[in-house]
Homo-oligomer: A and B are copies of this chain.
């Protein structure tokens, strides 16, 4: 559970809500058509920017900002090193019995181990793993891009909404008393766009980018482990390498 995302986004929304309430008349800030044009229009324009499937999984990726689902580093080092020890002592074929455990931990780890056990050439394993990594990288990048697009489109739709409101207001200036409230309503879409972009989308983009790098680092370390097993390196040396890579002490 990423407590920082929860406290951060929750806290920022709370502070904005408080500053609206203490200014009186909070209901003036709730406007359904404004919300519709900013959120609906922004989502629609972002949908047009990606293939349907990629857009959907991108939107859902918000969950990762709250629950990244990353492996625990020390546990993973122990798991990979013990796998290597087993392979050294009992031979690579002995890993066949544990193949389900590898797939359970991570699909790419399973695939790599499958190829290793099947006796595929290590260079071919590496080439296939790198292709798969590039695929995963591209997928995670698309998830980031969806939120990046939303972070640009919500304020853009906010501005469009404000322009529409201002033009409507300017067209009937007969009643000067309506000028102020008219402008206030026009400005609400800009406010919605700014809040959604800065309090929601931009933090989500940064958090997803951060976790993307970590995710890829873990997946690369599975390939490093397979290479170490194949070369018959010292398990201590693998442990040291993984610890330096993960930035932890064992």
Contact = CB atoms under 8 A, between A and B. Distances in A.
Categorize the interface residue count of chain A.
35 or more
A185 to B, nearest CB: 9
A44 to B, nearest CB: 4
Contacts of A247: 135, 138-139
A207 B239 CA distance: 36
Given A19-B37, A131-B244, A198-B153, A183 B170 contact: yes
Contact of A16 (B41, B172, B210, B237): B41
A202 B45 contact: yes
B164 A12 contact: no
Interface string A183-216: 1100110110011011100111011001001000
Contact of A36 (B19, B156, B166): B19
Given A28-B167, A41-B12, A153-B198, A4 B206 contact: no
Interface string A12-40: 10011011101111001100010011001
Contact of A19 (B15, B33, B188, B210): B33
B128 A164 contact: no
Contact of A48 (B135, B161, B194, B207): B207
Copies of this chain, tallied across the complex: 5
Given A187-B167, A203-B49, A156 B8 contact: no
Given A244-B128, A244-B135, A181 B171 contact: yes
Interface string A154-176: 00110111011111111111000
A241 B37 contact: no
Contact of A167 (B52, B159, B191): B191
